Structure formats: C-alpha cells, structure tokens
Amino acid sequence: MKLVVHSPLEGWAMPLTEVPDEVFAAAMAGEGVAIDPTGDTVCAPFDGEIVPVGTARHAVTVRSAGGVEVLVHVGIDTVALAGAGFDWLARPGERVAAGTPLLRFDLDAVARRAKSLATPIVLAGGGIIGARIANRRVGVGDTLFEVDVLKRGKAAKDESAMATARMRVPFDHGLHVRPAALVAAALKPFTCDVEIAMHGRAANARSGVALMALGARCGDTVDVRARGADARAALEALAAVLAPELVASEIPAAPARPAAAARAGRIPGVVASRGLSVGTVARLTQADETVEEKGRAPAEEERALEQALAVLQSHLEGLAKSAEGMRRELLQAHAGLVRDPELARSAAAHIRAGKSAGFAWREATRATASSLAAMEDARMRERAADLRDLERQLLRVLRGAAPASARDLPSLSIVLADDMLPSQFIALDASRIAGLCLARGGATSHVSILAASGGIPALVAAGPSVLDVADGTPAILDAEEGWIHIAPPAAQLDAARRTAEKRAADYAADLALAREPAVTRDGVAIAVKANAGSIADARSAMQHGADGCGLLRTEFLFLDRRSPPGEDEQAAEYERIALAFGGNPVNVRTLDIGGDKPIAYLPLPREENPALGLRGVRTSLAHPQLLRAQLRAIARAASKSPCRILVPMVNELAELEQVRAMAAECAAEVSVEVPPVGVMIETPAAALAAHALARHADFLSIGSNDLAQYALAIDRGHADLARHLDALHPAVLLLIAATVEGARANGRPVSVCGAMASDAQALPLLIGLGVQEISATPGVIPRLKRIVRTLDAGECRKLAGRALEATSAAAVRELLR
C-alpha cells in the first residue's frame, strides 16, 4: 500500500542535504525533501489527523489512517521564536482532508528572525519513503514523494531484560524536533523498545513526533524505560544525549565497562578560545621533576645553576626569534624571568644553606608562585603558572634533558590534560591539535591566550572527569557553547564535522570581506574596532579588518617589572601601536590598576573587597606622578597618529575634571595639543550620570564586564555565580540605554567594549539601543561586520524595546534567539 504525500506549501523544492541544519541535512529527523517557501500557508499533505506536538506553533505533523506520520517544520531554528509570527488554522486531534490550511506564518517577519526559511517535510514514522522530487517549483497539492506503508504489528521482544533511568532534558528549547532526532539517532543501533515518560504520559523514544508531544522543557526530568536484550546499552547511549540523573533499576546487571567508556557524554567547561572541533582524544600527563635536597659544595651548585640558566635562556631566546605574535611575546617574557634578580637572590641563599641547585631553584620559584597564587586577581594567580613552567624547564636542563619534551600527536587530536604549562603547549605540533580541554586552568592563562592566538578551540576548568578518558576516544569539543562530548553517536560526529567545515568556510568568506564597512540594510554605519594589549594585537586587529582600537589596555607596560615605564618608553610604544592601526583612532586607556591588579613598585593597601576600593582613576589620582607621565606620553603619541585618552572607572564629574585639567597641563609641557578625553562607563553611578559626564567628556565607552558586575552584585571571578553574570540582564541594558541617551543628548559618540561587544548574539540589541561603535576581540571582527550587514536598525530598535521589558537575562537571550 502506498500513500502519496502532496506539497503543503508553494515554493522551490530542494534536497534535504541543502538545508542549513545538520540534523535535517543528515536525515536524522527523517527522510524527505525541503521547500524554500514563497507562500505563507501550510496545508495538509494528505487526508489524516493532526498530531499534537507539544506547544510548538512552527511545526505540524499529520498522521494518515495507515499510521504514516509526516512532519512539516517551517524554517530552521524557528523554535526560538516561541510561536511569534505563526497562527494555527486547525486544532490538534482534528481530522483534515488533503489541502486543508493548517497554519499560516508571517513570511517576512520569520525570514528576518530565523536562520533559514527552508522548510523540511519529512517522514516521521509508519512507512518507507520512495522516490522524491527536488530542484523544481511546486504548488500546494503537487506530489512530493510516495510512502510504502508498513503493516502495523508488534515484533516479539526479549522481555527478560529491562533497564530504567531518570534523565534530564538539557536542550534550551526542550524536546523539539532536533533534540528528538538526536534521541532517535542514538537508539538506531539497538533493537529494544524504549519509551520516555513524564507527567503520567509516555512516548516512543524513536518517534520524534511522540517525543515533541510530551512538551518536555529544558531542565525537565523524564523517566526512560528500555525493554529488550540490549536495554542497558541503549540507555547508556541515550545518556550521551540526555543528562543522566539517577539509575532506578537494572535487570540484569550489565558487565563492567572500561573507565573511559563510562565517561561518555557531555562535560561542561569554561570557554577559553572559541570554536568547534571534532577529533580523537590525546591525553597529556606530566610528572613532577624529582630533585635531591642536599647539595655539593656551594661553588659547584652555583656553577651548575648558572650553566643551566644560560642554556634555558638561550633556548627561550632562540624560540622567540622564530616565533610571532603572542607566542613570541611570551617566550621573550620567560627569557627575561630566567634572569630575574629576586629569583637569583633567593636561589643563591638556598645554595649557601647547603641545598642543591635544583632544590634551590624550585624553592625560589615556588615561593614567588605561591605569593602570586594568593592574590585576588585571577590573572596574577595564573601568572604563577609561568614560574612553575620555568621551574620544570630548568630542572630538566639540570638533569641533562631538553627544556621541553614534545609528545607525538595523531592528526586532529583533542588534547586533554589536568593543566598545561606554556612550554608544554609550545612544544606540541599545533597543526595536529584540533582542540584543547583542561581539567583546571583559567580563561586568561597564557595557554588559553596561545590557543586563541593560534585559532585552536579550547575549554578550561572542565573538572577531573576529563582525565579518565582513554586515548583514541572520539570527541566533539564545542568551545562556543562550552562543552566537550565524549564518545558521541556516529551521527552526531558526522553532523559536527559538517558544522565545523561550514563554520570554517563561513569564516574564510567573512575574512575576505572584513575590510569592507559594516553598514546595516537601512544605512546605519557601525564602527567595529578592536581591543588590544600589545603590538601583536594591533597587527592581528588590522588583519581582521578592525576600524581602529576602541580599547588599548596599557597595563602590559606596567606589569612584571620592578619599576614603572618612563615617559619615553610609553610614548614610543603608544606611537608604535597607533601606527600599526594605520591612522585609525586609538583609545589609550590610562593605567587601570588597583587592589585587584597590584604591581610591585606601587604599594597599595590590602583591601577586603578590591572591586570596591582603589581602582582605575582613583589609583591614578592617588599617584599623580604616574598619571602625569602617562598623559604626557599619550599626548606625544597623539601628535604623530590619532590617539585619545580613555579614563577608567570614572564615577563622578569631579574625577573627570581633574584628569582633564592634568591632561591640558601635560600637553602644554610637551608642546602638543590636548588629545580628546573620554570616560569608561563601568558603574551604575556613571551610567546614571551619563548626561553630566557627556557634557564634559569627548566620548563615552561602556565597559560591559564591570558594569554587569556592579549592577548585578556578582564578582566576575566567583566560580559558583559566574554563570549568572550576564550583561544581557535587563537591568544592565537599562543602564546602557541611559548612557546612550546621555551621550546622544550632548552630541557625544558612545561605544561598548568588553565581552558583550564580542557577543554576536548581543549585536542586534546594541544597535537597537543606539550604540554605533563596538570594540571586540580581533578574531570575531569579520563575523560581526557580516552580521551588521544583514541587520535592519529599525527592527533592532523594536527588539531592544522588547528586551528592556524582559524580566531576566535568560528571557532576553531567548528573545534574541
């Protein structure tokens, strides 16, 4: 028996493989065709009954009398629209004839907000699809494909084995069509019956339609029951898609599995370098170097230490000569640390006390590393890793080995390690690394920065479970969403590979157009600038199409040294960086230092809460000699290339007036014009005082990271609360809106820097709030520019209005999706 499936829409029929979604393109949701619609009404593809699909309004399923189920899914990622733009014309459970209108949608509105209008029409169950048409125009009622209807009957199952488990739905929009397809794909290799139940209702886990009808939302707990010989194995496969919570019963007990297999599933981590990669696991382990405590004659030990230091310094300087960018700067910094006088003094004291050269060096480096690790600032704590790295390298040299050892990696390795030292990373063949995942570490560590500069997706702080994964295990590392999936089903691996390839192609296309202006479809120009902290950052920014520098962090000149940089050194460096930006404007932020970022030559009191103490302009005004030297240096650089003074953590007008007066005096002292002076808006007080500040400042720059921290009273470094710190919280958006209003009223430009400016999802919202300049991480600039060109500023303003009325950051992100 055959069933003819007619086109439910007017439009252009195309193969599913052309749909820009890995689940539909791979036919994980079912075989079928897709239509790029020109009409706005979905009609019944045959006589049948409308099947409930939970609360979805963007999709409809029709079941024939013979049990064939066909799903019509309007657009891609339209579940995120939460029904906006869709109107039902029929009711679930209603019997309809072929051609009956089922739902209508706003073609223009959905096209603007959805990833794609491509509408898959797929066989969801009850038959086997035959030949189908494609690459032609179709009207409602035209034949799309035929289905051989399966005879209904219950196959015999081995009832002797059953397993049940409780799991949690981890998907943002619940069990909609794509997650349901992933569930079904995970169960394909197994013969057992599997059902998922919640709220007294059960659904066949192999039926996407049945699962959608459950209406399960993100975070809901479901009971999974499997019956058959391979019941336990099926549940273990399903645990890689859903989040297992508690195994309720297992009959019979399954044999023990290797530890690596038991770790299958998603493991969350902190994004350190964005990207998506697919590969196989390569584990790195590193044992501590052993040293003898008791030394020989002090003169011998001193000679041995001096020779080892010379070897290590030569090794690092040699690597630095052939390196570029961040890698070169790091190697040069390490070479300088090798000859640090405090380390030398401490090691010499231990040697005179009868200790060996290795023991003395280890004690010297660990004492300094411990003091850094105890600091409030996460970046200072992570600098302790540099000293541990130098400790390890020198100890290797002392025992006659090379400073760093490299492991031979297979191609497309996803490297897993407890933590990693910069020298270990540098010693690896980067061409063979697909991704990096560390159990510990931080997002601002040198290894994270090296990974980002090399374009390697990386996660940190993923926890000790990643250390139990065996070499060679397939994995997906998603450093966009923040998880690594160990031993995923083959269908997910294939889909992730296609996604990664598409992203790489998209990035290449974006980069090719990165130097073109970013202008919205209705003619609003958006300046996309770069955040920078070195000459290497400036060069990278220009390679990625930056329109200038919205934030030059000057701390790189002041940290890791025993005395402050002089005026001449600063002026030369600022001029060098400004010239690298090719005559585009550069906002040079004055020293943003305080109790949270201490420096050796600037004695600051220890504070219980550094975030609320001496920070930014407060510290600069408390040490005017440092500020004056920096203002003179910026003024000198500005006379050669466009530089502007950006003052951090301004809270009130009096602080700005003091800095402006000093800037005028300093410019006069070096006989140049006063550069424009702007302020960072980083506190609620500054945002609410934006009208007054904008009357006296030449420009405003919103620091989204600190503004969110202070508005939401959540420490940026708080491990447990960090996920709640979201700059898209409506309260933060209201402060941004107030800042823009204050700037606009006084004819002043306003920009946004910080993580929010690099968040592609937030871009339409910023444009809608009236921001016309952003300063982002160089690597994301091409993508941001491309997105700007797809947006309509008028529509963005409407979106921003809705976001300001939302009740949570999650609600805003849902709106943006």
Q: At what angle do helices 325-338 and 535-543 cross, to 10 degrees?
A: 170
Q: How far apart are CA 612 and CA 70, in angstroms?
A: 60
Segment 360-364 long-range contacts (CB within 8 Å, at least 24 positions apart): 360/295, 360/301, 360/305, 361/305, 361/391, 361/394, 361/395, 361/398, 362/291, 362/391, 362/395
Strands (DSSP E) found in 479-566: 483-486, 527-532, 549-553
Q: Is 753 a catalytic residue?
A: yes
Q: Give φ, ψ of 315 to 5 degrees.
A: -60, -50
Cis peptide before 252 (omega within 30 of 0): yes
Helix (H, G, I), strand (E, B) or coil at 25: helix
Q: Give me the torsion for CA of 739, 553, 537, 374, rounded to 10°.
A: -120
Tokens standing for residue 647: 């003052």
Residue (of 697, 798, 709) closest to 742 by Cα position:
697
Q: At what angle do helices 341-352 and 298-322 cross, to 10 degrees?
A: 150
What is the DSSP code (8-state) at residue 410?
A: P
Q: How far apart are CA 252 and CA 409, in angstroms?
A: 41
Contact partners, residue 79, CB within 8 Å, separation at least 6: 56, 58, 173, 176, 177
The catalytic residue among 437, 549, 666, 753 is 753
Q: How far apart are CA 376 and CA 371, in angstroms?
A: 11
Secondary structure of 281-309 as H, E, C letters: EEEECCCCCCCCCECCCHHHHHHHHHHHH
Helix (H, G, I), strand (E, B) or coil at 416: strand
H or E element at residue 676: none
Q: How many Cα atoms are found within 13 Å in the side-chain-facing hemisphere of 650?
A: 34
The catalytic residue among 6, 446, 485, 544 is 446
Q: Give φ, ψ of 144 to 5 degrees.
A: -100, -50
* Residues designated catalytic: 446, 753
